[in-house]
Amino acid sequence: MLFGLVECSLDNESVSPPPLHLEGAPLPREVLCTLPCVGSVLRVFSNRFFKEMLHLQKGIYWARFCNMTCKQQFGMWKGILLPSSRVRLLSNEDGSVADRLKLFDSRIATQIHRQPMASLPNASDIADVEYERAGYTTLMESLTHGEVTHKFKTLVRVVAAYPRGASHLCSLLAGNCCLRLTLEDPTARIHAYIHKDDGAKFFGGFLTAEAVIRKMNKLLGIPEDTEEGAPSNRNPPWIWCCLKSYRLDKNDPWGSRRYRIFGTEIRD
C-alpha cells in the first residue's frame, strides 16, 4: 500500500469518522485469516463482471490485473478495474509468481524488512515504548491472532483522533475521559483507545493545553503553521506503540474486541 498525504477531514470526526475499511461491511474473521500478515492489502473494486472472479471467490489464486487504476479514498488506496481491464489467473509455477514468493520469503526473514517500507530507513523518534526489545507485529497479525487478548508492539501512523479539542485533551490528562485514535499500517486500520488512566503517561505528564495540542498535531502530521480549522493535507509520522486487545462482552468476545494503547509516551 502506498502511503502519503492523508486528506480525510479531522473536523468531521465526531459525525463521520474515517472508515476502517472501504468495503461495505468488515470482512469476516475467517477471510482475514487467509490474508498475508506482512505487506500491503489493496482493495480492488469493479463495476463489471469478470469470469475470473468466480475462481477467486472459491479459493486463493495468483492473478495479474492489467490496465487497473488506483485512487485514494478516506486516506486509503483502492484499486479500480476499468472497462478495458483484464484479469489473468496464474499458476504457482508461473515465473512471476515464483519471483514474488522469493521476494516475500526474503522480506519476512529479517525483522527490519518486515516493517512498512514507507517507514524506512527509520521510524519517527517522537514516541518511546516500554517494550523496546519486543518483536514487531503488524496489525493484521493481531487481528488474526488466535486469542482475543493480545499484547504487542507495532509500527503505525495516527490517521485521526477523537475528541481532540484542548478541553477534551486536558480532561484526558486529568483522568476524566478517553481518547480514540485511528491507527493504520499497510495491512489494516483499527481504532485504539487511550484510557483515562493512561492519558498523562501517553502525553508525557500534566501539560498545558498548548503543549498537549502541539503533541497531538505532531502525531497527526499537522504542520505547525496551520491555522485551526483550515484544511490541510497531512503526512502523519510512523511511530512505535504498544497495544493490547481485550473484550467487552464475554458472550461475544470477537465481536466486542477492542484495542488499548499502553506503555507509550510521546516525546517533546
pLDDT in tens, 42-91: 888 888 888 877 777 777 778 899 999 998 887 788 899 999 999 888 88
Note the pTM of the prediction, 2 decimals.
0.81
- Tell me the per-residue pLDDT of 216-233, one tens digit each, with 9 for 90 and over: 899 998 887 766 655 567
Q: Under a CB-based contact definition with an 8 Å cutoff, are residues 231 and 92 in contact?
A: no
Q: Under a CB-based contact definition with an 8 Å cutoff, are residues 261 and 194 in contact?
A: yes
- Measured in degrees and rounded to the nearest 5, phi and psi for residue 146 equal -70, -20
Per-residue confidence band for 1, with pLDDT thresholds at 50, 70 and 90: very low
Placement of cell 504542520 in the chain: 223
- Distance, in Å, from the CA atom of 183 to the CA atom of 137, rounded to the nearest integer, reads 14
